[in-house]
Amino acid sequence: MKVLGNSLHIANSGKLIARGKQTPVAGAIVFNSKKKKIGKVNTVFGPTKSPYISINLFRSTNRDNIMDNYGEKLFVSNNNKKSRKRRKSRRNN
């Protein structure tokens, strides 16, 4: 897992805003410092060297714990690529 950045606050929309150290891939799974899944990367905005990251939190995530741990390190999964299976074309020869 790679370090994503630090959590800042929860926006009015319910998304967690974090300050990143690098630009993550949209849709990547985000983990807290205890290695528990907390959400997915929604939007990346701001400067490219240290962007702000909007994270959609999972319903199972306890928002009170996140609010108590501002500045907590967040991590992102290494496997950011989704595997796509190609269908084999059937030709009638």
Q: What local confidence, expressed as pLDDT, does residue 66 receive?
A: 82
pLDDT tens-digit series, residues 45-88: 999 889 999 999 999 888 888 888 888 999 998 765 555 566 67
Helices (H), the chain: 63-68
Count the alpha carbons within 13 Å of 93 in the hemisphere toward its beta carbon.
3
DSSP letter at 68?
H
Top-tier CATH class for 2-76: mainly beta
Q: How many CB atoms lie within 10 A of CB 18?
A: 23
Where exactly are the structural domains of the chain? 2-76
Mean pLDDT for all residues in the chain: 86
Q: What local confidence, expressed as pLDDT, does residue 81 receive?
A: 56
What band does 18 get if pLDDT is binned at 50, 70 and 90?
very high
Whole-model pTM: value is: 0.78
Q: What local confidence, expressed as pLDDT, does residue 78 receive?
A: 79
Q: What local confidence, expressed as pLDDT, does residue 85 receive?
A: 65
Q: What local confidence, expressed as pLDDT, does residue 83 receive?
A: 54
